[in-house]
Amino acid sequence: MRKLAVILMLIVTVSSCFEEDIMVPRHEQGDLLEGIASQGSSYERQVFYDLQTNREVSSNLISEWDLCFEKSGGLMSIRLNSSKFMWAGNSYDTAFLDIIDRADLEMRFDRSDGDPDSTAIGTWFDPESETVSSLEHVYLVDRGIDIDSSNTSNSSMGFRKVQFRTENNDFLVRHANPDNTDEITSSISWDGGADRVYYSFDNGIVEIEPGPTGWSLLFSRYTTMLFYNEGEPYPYLVTGVLLNPSGVSATLDTIHDFPAIELADTVDLEFTFRSDVIGYEWKYYNFDDDVYTIEPGMAYVIRDRDGLYYKLRFIDFYNDTGEKGHPTFEYVRL
């Protein structure tokens, strides 16, 4: 087990652990492949998809976890499950048993671009300390909504107040109902290969992600900011695609048509590790026909964790029986 102090080394940027250019051995271009991610008609599932093997490697109900503890590039961040529309507010108080009034807090959600500096929990540790030292602030966490597979119920999952502490090289999560009932303290540790540990307030540590090297894309609902005609941003749940933060980058190719994209063209493209670069805008809702329609001409180029390049475009949002929530795409290894 790694020591927590090693895990939480600070002041390293996320992008610094990736090389700008990755040399790829000469290889033959792959065949045109088709993939489908089965999220369900109410988008109740998250699907981890691997482009190298062209398969879903795992999936889970969005209600199965609440927090993700992520170590990346020497940083330690705590993320909310944004697929449930979760929010959190910092009381800046260390007295766990004090009653917290939601109206007194600035409730925030995680930005969908994956920036560790833009999470609702924020900096839970003292950045000025020479050793890892928790500020021990108490947060109020809105657990968001759950949705059943029949798309008939959006039920609130309630609130928990949470305090994060470090003790004896363990990471401790103390949480309870806002009235201090049902108090639980759990210990979080990492094995040798995990980049992220997922936690449920109901069930403790849960197995969600298949591992940092086992997937490329996450098909999921997530919370992001949308701008209306008045220009005011508003948080909203969307259904789209997020990148694996462990070494996968991508870009929207606005230069080449999908059939014509070749490996040599990738030098003209600007890749980003921003999680939501593929996002949700490859489809739109057609109000006249009451269906989702794929945006034509949107081709993405993806560089995976091993430096292999793929071109990808979406071709449908429905399965063979006409059920929505099944993004279908075709792609080629360049």
Q: What is the pLDDT of residue 1?
A: 39
Q: Residue ranges of the chain with pLDDT lower than 70?
A: 1-28, 72-75, 130-132, 148-153, 169, 190-193, 228-231
Residue 34: CB atoms within 10 Å: 11
Token pair for residue 332? 């080629």
**What domain range is 277 assigned to?**
30-60+213-333
How many angstroms separate the first and last alpha carbons of the chain? 39
Residues 233 and 321 in one domain: yes
Same-domain check for residues 262 and 221:
yes
| Same domain (yes/no): 295, 314 | yes
In a domain, 22, yes or no: no
Please answer whether residues 299 and 261 qualify as being in contact, where contact means their C-beta atoms are separated by less than 8 angstroms: yes
Which residues are paired to 186 by β-bridges?
173
Give the separation between CA 56 and CA 215, rounded to whole angstroms.
Answer: 8
Given the DSSP bridges, would you call strands 45-50 and 217-227 parallel, antiparallel or unpaired? antiparallel
- Shared domain for 185 and 238, answered yes or no, is no
On whether residue 19 sits in a domain, the answer given is no
Within a domain: 187: yes
Residues 308, 199 share a domain:
no
Same domain, 181 and 80: yes
- Cα(101)–Cα(307) distance, integer angstroms: 49
* Residue 315 exposure: Cα atoms within 13 Å on the Cβ side: 13
Within 13 Å and on the Cβ side, how many CA atoms surround 199? 24
Contact 308, 263 (CB under 8 A): no
pTM, two decimals, is 0.87
> Mapping DSSP to helix (H, G, I), strand (E, B) and coil, where does residue 232 land?
coil
pLDDT for residue 227: 77
Say if residue 56 is in the same domain as residue 146.
no
Please check whether residue 17 lies inside any domain of the structure: no
State residue 128's pLDDT score.
76
Q: Which of 153, 181, 206 is the last residue of a domain?
A: 206
Do 162 and 198 belong to one domain? yes
* Bridge partners for 140 per DSSP: 89, 161
Shared domain check, 191 and 81: yes
| pLDDT for res 257 | 93
Last residue within a domain, chosen from 185, 206, 227: 206
Strand pairing report for 75-80 and 67-72: antiparallel
Residue 191 is predicted with a pLDDT of: 62
Can you tell me whether residue 4 is helix, strand or coil?
helix
Overall domain count for the chain: 2
CA distance 296 to 87: 34
Q: What is the pLDDT of residue 225?
A: 85
Task: Give yes or no: residues 67 and 186 share one domain.
Answer: yes
Measured CA distances, 110 to 115, 223, 267, 295 (Å): 9, 8, 32, 27
Distance, in Å, from the CA atom of 122 to the CA atom of 52, rounded to the nearest integer, reads 34
CA distance linking residue 149 with residue 196, whole number of Å: 27
Picking from 206, 235, 269, the residue at the C-terminal end of a domain is 206
- Same domain? For 88 and 179 the reply is yes
pLDDT value, residue 94: 95
Answer yes or no: do 178 and 255 share one domain: no
In the numeric block, which tokens belong to residue 321?
């029986």
